[in-house]
Amino acid sequence: MGRERRKPKTSQFKRRRKKVCVFCADKKTLDYKDIGFVQRFMTDRGKIAPRRMSGCCALHQRMVAKVIKKTRQLGLAPYTVE
């Protein structure tokens, strides 16, 4: 029996380009009154999006979480979407 050569697995997993933090790159600030921008960091169900989805660094992800919680407290954003 002859041995078959395997194809290299390089094409199986493609490396993703790391997302750049919006706040670090553009020196942007997040304000709880800017609902459109705040909702960018929420899922369609009203949850806070994780870092891998939002693309924020750890420092700014904590800031995003605080701002979203503040907007919920003030009634500007829902806790859940039915």
How many whole angstroms separate alpha carbon 49 and alpha carbon 55?
Answer: 9
Residue 4 lies in a domain: no
Residue 43 lies in a domain: yes
Coil, strand or helix at 61:
helix
Evaluate whether residue 20 is within a structural domain: yes
Across 16-25, 26-35, 59-68, 71-80, least confident range: 16-25
Q: What is the pLDDT of residue 82?
A: 80
Separation of alpha carbons 57 and 44, rounded Å: 21
User: How many domains in the chain?
Assistant: 1
In a domain, 9, yes or no: no
Residue 70 falls inside a structural domain: yes
What pTM, to 2 d.p., does this model score? Answer: 0.76
pLDDT at residue 7, as a whole number: 64
CATH number of the domain encompassing residue 39: 4.10.640.10
Question: What integer best gives the mean pLDDT of the chain?
Answer: 88
Residue 69, domain extent: 16-74
Distance CA 66, CA 60 (A): 10
